[in-house]
């Protein structure tokens, strides 16, 4: 067990995490979509009858938000980002329940003795790299064991115990899942051949639309009805929202641009007067990543950055500081450290072009007015009057389907699409901020999702029925061609000319690396290696066409080369097979699980309760 944990810890845990489709690498957390005051005992989801209570969910969300903040420097800024994190958190909790159920079903437990043995002999990877436990640059197990035995840090020992109580059952589950994974030499040889056998073919493609004219296809009402009933899920349309909006642009003007340049000039003067470039970059640069490193961009090869930046950087001498350089990101002060041909090492300070002064005050005042008068209103007419008050127009957004972003002019606006399918017609959104503008949307109307009646989508259904009948007619045509080819009554060239069908030579290619044209046509690839050389296949129904395949050349894999690389191939293939086995079993658990996500129901209940409370308060105010 200890050997398994030590040798496979990195990827075993990765597989157990990734195999569950939504498993996150962090411990999860943040706040429930819609916010609010649910009862602590509310179950926001049930997994095979086991509840996930709100407190557990919120604790996990807070942990996830903090982990994300540490990793990326910020929490999600949009509701879309928040919802994605919350979905991942809930999925993580769901999968944790499923994993524990599987431990119980398989009788997997962890004893105190196993934890002690793991703690003493299988330290976590981050411990191995800690200088305190190294001797002459190498991990010293004896030092680590003395530290464990000293019990000088009880908190560390408790954390280590908790970690192994989680990891050891996972390692045992891994052992059980992959115990019977075996790869024979014959199977490895076939995999090697798939990589190294190659073929070249001539391919005749009969495209149904070209081979059979529309006029030759008759579709009856009965056929339409049968296809519609058999493929109803294909015609299940998403809900569509129709929105209006008012936008207050946040686009810098000439004065803002001049102010940014003046700031860049002032910073340049400060550096030329003796200030340290790195310190100024840390203090002033809007590029937070390089700014934290004193503006250091590292050594790069042209082209890496935008052309305006690179042209200015490469025009400098090592050690020289540039004048302010304008790019789509703002003004840059560039210091060239070194260059050699197209390789160079530079630092920069980025001064963004932002709204400032009177322009900023004016834009903020208009946004405040829009927020105060039009945001989160029940009466949609408030948006019209608010727009008139700030001299803006009410625009119409493109219709948006559920799950998509709202397109407002040239910009795809985050969060508005989520709000639209939670709101009621006539209501207005909160102010939604982007870099380009601040928006308030109004939901004008909503078409619910679902399957439309056949009479409304007759033309939509008619097209695949026609194509289906064309494909069958093309298959019959190809069968006759195959018979004529076998009796030498025709040739591929003659058939291609007769039916205006492309006849192409493709290859060489291997089974697992076909040319792009064949990547979605695996049966064609199979025929390239299965049909006799210079023979012609039977008609092959592909994704896009009906094909006739004539292999004209093959090159077989070298068995001697196979034997030389067999040990390495076996190790890699076993690892891949074990990972696949774990993914298959664990994803199967997720697919079979009964998961009831109650977040929307709770949010709707909370909203109804809040509305009822508002009505009650208004009634009581009227009585008083």
The two structure tokens encoding residue 262: 């003046």
CB of 36 within 8 A of CB of 603? yes
The last residue of a domain, from among 533, 555, 577: 555
With 80 as the cut, is the pLDDT of residue 72 above it? no
The two structure tokens encoding residue 13: 């845990």
> CA-to-CA distance for 304 and 298, rounded, in angstroms?
11
The two structure tokens encoding residue 227: 């296809």
With 70 as the cut, is the pLDDT of residue 400 above it? yes
**Residues 464, 437 share a domain:** no
> CA-to-CA distance for 23 and 38, rounded, in angstroms?
26
**Residues 502, 489 share a domain:** yes
Residue 86 lies in a domain: no
Residue 481 has a pLDDT of 93
Number of CB atoms found within 10 A of residue 501's CB: 22
Neighbour-count burial of 211, counting CB atoms closer than 10 A to its CB (0-12 exposed, 13-18 middle, 19+ buried): buried
DSSP conformation letters of 44-60: EEEETTEEEEHHHHHHH
The set of residues, in sequence order, having a beta carbon less than 8 Å from that of 10 and lying 6+ positions away, is 125
> CA-to-CA distance for 229 and 451, rounded, in angstroms?
11
With 80 as the cut, is the pLDDT of residue 236 above it? yes
Which of 301, 358, 348, 292 lies closest to 321 in space, CA to CA? 348
Which of 9, 19, 13 lies closest to 588 in space, CA to CA? 19
CB of 364 within 8 A of CB of 354? no
Average pLDDT, integer, range 63-87: 78
Residue 378 lies in a domain: yes
CATH of the domain at 537: 3.10.50
With 90 as the cut, is the pLDDT of residue 228 above it? yes
The confidence band for 16, taking pLDDT boundaries of 50, 70 and 90, is very low
- What burial letters (b/e) apply to 421-436, b meaning 16+ CB within 10 Å? bebeebbbbebbbbee
Residue 209 lies in a domain: yes
User: Using N-to-C axis directions, what is the helix angle for 458-486 and 221-230, rounded to 10°?
Assistant: 100
**Residues 536, 467 share a domain:** yes
DSSP conformation letters of 176-196: HHHTT----HHHHHHHHHHHH
pLDDT tens string 456-490? 899 999 999 999 999 999 999 999 999 999 888 89
Residue 39 has a pLDDT of 54
Which of 187, 113, 207, 143 lies closest to 502 in space, CA to CA? 207
With 90 as the cut, is the pLDDT of residue 620 above it? no
Fill in the DSSP letter of residue 512: S
The confidence band for 601, taking pLDDT boundaries of 50, 70 and 90, is confident
**Residues 382, 431 share a domain:** yes
pLDDT tens string 510-540? 999 999 999 999 999 999 999 999 999 999 9
- pLDDT averaged over every residue in the chain: 87
**Residues 382, 336 share a domain:** no
The confidence band for 74, taking pLDDT boundaries of 50, 70 and 90, is low
CATH of the domain at 304: 3.10.50.40
Pairing status of strand 198-206 against strand 503-509: antiparallel
User: Using N-to-C axis directions, what is the helix angle for 559-592 and 185-196, rounded to 10°?
Assistant: 100
Give the rounded percent of residues in the chain with a pLDDT score beyond 70.
Answer: 92
> CA-to-CA distance for 331 and 262, rounded, in angstroms?
10
Average pLDDT, integer, range 79-99: 90
With 70 as the cut, is the pLDDT of residue 31 above it? no
Number of CB atoms found within 10 A of residue 397's CB: 22
> CA-to-CA distance for 115 and 162, rounded, in angstroms?
9
Residue 27 has a pLDDT of 30
**Residues 444, 420 share a domain:** yes
pLDDT tens string 160-197? 888 899 899 999 999 999 999 999 999 999 999 999 99
With 70 as the cut, is the pLDDT of residue 32 above it? no
> CA-to-CA distance for 364 and 38, rounded, in angstroms?
35
**Residues 377, 337 share a domain:** no
Residue 77 has a pLDDT of 67
Omega cis (within 30) before 483: no
Return the residue matching tokens 């790869």: 183
Pairing status of strand 43-47 against strand 50-53: antiparallel
Residue 29 has a pLDDT of 29
Residue 68 lies in a domain: no
Which of 380, 355, 326, 328 lies closest to 433 in space, CA to CA? 355
Q: Which residue has the higher pLDDT, 525 or 39?
A: 525
CB of 461 within 8 A of CB of 235? yes
Residue 460 has a pLDDT of 92
The confidence band for 15, taking pLDDT boundaries of 50, 70 and 90, is very low
**Residues 371, 243 share a domain:** yes
The last residue of a domain, from among 351, 374, 391: 351
CB of 546 within 8 A of CB of 540? yes
Q: Give how far Cα 372 sits from Cα of 240, 248, 380, Å.
A: 28, 14, 14
**Residues 342, 401 share a domain:** no
E strand or H helix at 575 = helix 559-592
Which of 165, 151, 157 lies closest to 113 in space, CA to CA? 165
DSSP three-state, residue 450: strand
Residue 173 has a pLDDT of 93
Residue 39 lies in a domain: no
Return the residue matching tokens 């640069």: 285
The last residue of a domain, from among 555, 577, 592: 555
Residue 396 lies in a domain: yes
Which of 623, 593, 600, 618 lies closest to 105 in space, CA to CA? 593
- Low-confidence winner among 117-131, 223-237, 456-470 (lowest mean pLDDT): 117-131
> CA-to-CA distance for 280 and 289, rounded, in angstroms?
14
pLDDT tens string 148-166? 888 777 888 888 888 899 8
Structural domain boundaries enclosing 268? 254-351
Q: Which residue has the higher pLDDT, 527 or 32?
A: 527
pTM above 0.85, yes or no: no
Looking at the structure of the chain, the number of domains it has is: 3
Which of 334, 267, 248 lies closest to 295 in space, CA to CA? 334
The confidence band for 441, taking pLDDT boundaries of 50, 70 and 90, is very high
Residue 624 has a pLDDT of 55
**Residues 202, 271 share a domain:** no
E strand or H helix at 282 = helix 277-284
CB of 17 within 8 A of CB of 23? yes
- Give the rounded distance of the alpha carbon of 178 from its chain centre: 29
CB of 169 within 8 A of CB of 110? yes
**Residues 467, 441 share a domain:** no
Give the rounded percent of residues in the chain with a pLDDT score beyond 90.
Answer: 64
**Residues 443, 493 share a domain:** no
């Amino acid at each position: 067990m200890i050997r398994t944990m030590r040798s496979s810890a990195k990827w075993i845990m990765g597989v157990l995490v990734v195999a569950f489709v939504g498993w996150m690498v962090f411990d999860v957390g943040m706040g429930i979509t819609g916010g609010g005051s649910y009862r602590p005992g509310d179950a926001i989801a049930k997994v095979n009858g086991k509840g996930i209570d709100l407190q557990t969910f919120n604790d996990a969300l807070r942990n996830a938000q903090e982990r994300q903040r540490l990793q990326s420097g910020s929490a999600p800024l949009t509701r879309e980002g928040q919802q994605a994190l919350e979905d991942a958190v809930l999925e993580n909790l769901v999968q944790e329940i499923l994993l524990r159920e599987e431990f119980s079903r398989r009788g997997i437990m962890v004893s105190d003795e196993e934890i002690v043995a793991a703690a003493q002999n299988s330290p976590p990877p981050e411990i191995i790299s800690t200088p305190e436990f190294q001797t002459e640059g190498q991990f010293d197990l004896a030092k680590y064991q003395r530290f464990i035995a000293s019990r000088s840090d009880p908190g560390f020992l408790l954390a280590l115990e908790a970690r192994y109580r989680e990891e050891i059952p996972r390692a045992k589950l891994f052992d059980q899942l992959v115990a019977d994974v075996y790869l024979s030499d014959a199977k490895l040889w076939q995999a090697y051949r798939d990589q190294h056998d190659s073929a070249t073919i001539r391919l005749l493609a009969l495209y149904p639309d070209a081979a059979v004219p529309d006029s030759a296809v008759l579709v009856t009402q009965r056929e339409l009805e049968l296809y519609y009933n058999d493929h109803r899920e294909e015609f299940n349309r998403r809900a569509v929202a129709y929105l209006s909006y008012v936008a207050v642009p946040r686009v810098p003007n000439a004065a803002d641009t001049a102010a940014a340049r003046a700031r860049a000039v002032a910073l340049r003067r400060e550096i030329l007067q003796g200030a340290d470039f790195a310190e100024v970059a840390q203090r002033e640069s809007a590029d937070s990543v390089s700014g934290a490193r004193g503006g250091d961009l590292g050594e790069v090869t042209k082209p890496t950055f935008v052309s305006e930046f690179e042209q200015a950087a490469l025009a400098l001498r090592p050690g020289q500081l540039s004048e302010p350089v304008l790019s789509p990101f703002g003004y840059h002060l560039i210091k060239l450290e070194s260059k050699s041909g197209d390789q160079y090492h530079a630092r920069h300070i980025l001064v963004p072009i932002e709204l400032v002064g009177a322009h900023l005050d004016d834009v903020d005042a208009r946004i405040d007015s829009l927020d105060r008068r039009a945001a989160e209103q029940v009466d949609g007419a408030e948006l019209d009057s608010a727009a008139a008050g700030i001299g803006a127009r009410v625009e119409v957004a493109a219709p948006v389907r559920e799950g998509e972003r709202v397109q407002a002019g040239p910009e795809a606006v985050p969060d508005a699409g989520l709000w639209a399918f939670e709101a009621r017609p006539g209501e207005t959104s909160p102010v939604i901020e982007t870099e380009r503008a601040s928006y308030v949307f109004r939901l004008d109307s909503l078409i619910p999702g679902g399957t439309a009646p056949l009479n409304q989508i007759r033309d939509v259904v008619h097209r695949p029925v026609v194509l289906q009948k064309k494909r069958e007619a093309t298959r019959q045509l190809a069968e006759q061609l195959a018979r004529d080819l076998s009796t030498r009554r025709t040739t591929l060239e003659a058939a291609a000319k007769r039916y205006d069908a492309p006849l192409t030579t493709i290859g060489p290619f291997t089974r697992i690396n076909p040319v792009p044209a064949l990547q979605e046509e695996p049966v064609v690839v199979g025929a390239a290696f299965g049909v006799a050389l210079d023979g012609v296949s039977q008609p092959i129904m592909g994704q896009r066409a009906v094909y006739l395949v004539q292999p004209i050349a093959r090159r077989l894999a070298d068995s001697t080369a196979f034997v030389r690389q067999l040990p390495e191939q076996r190790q890699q293939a076993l690892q891949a097979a074990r990972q696949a086995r774990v993914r298959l079993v664990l994803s199967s658990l997720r697919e079979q699980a009964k998961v009831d996500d109650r977040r929307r129901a709770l949010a709707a209940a909370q909203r109804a309760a809040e509305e009822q409370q508002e009505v009650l308060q208004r009634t009581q105010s009227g009585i008083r």
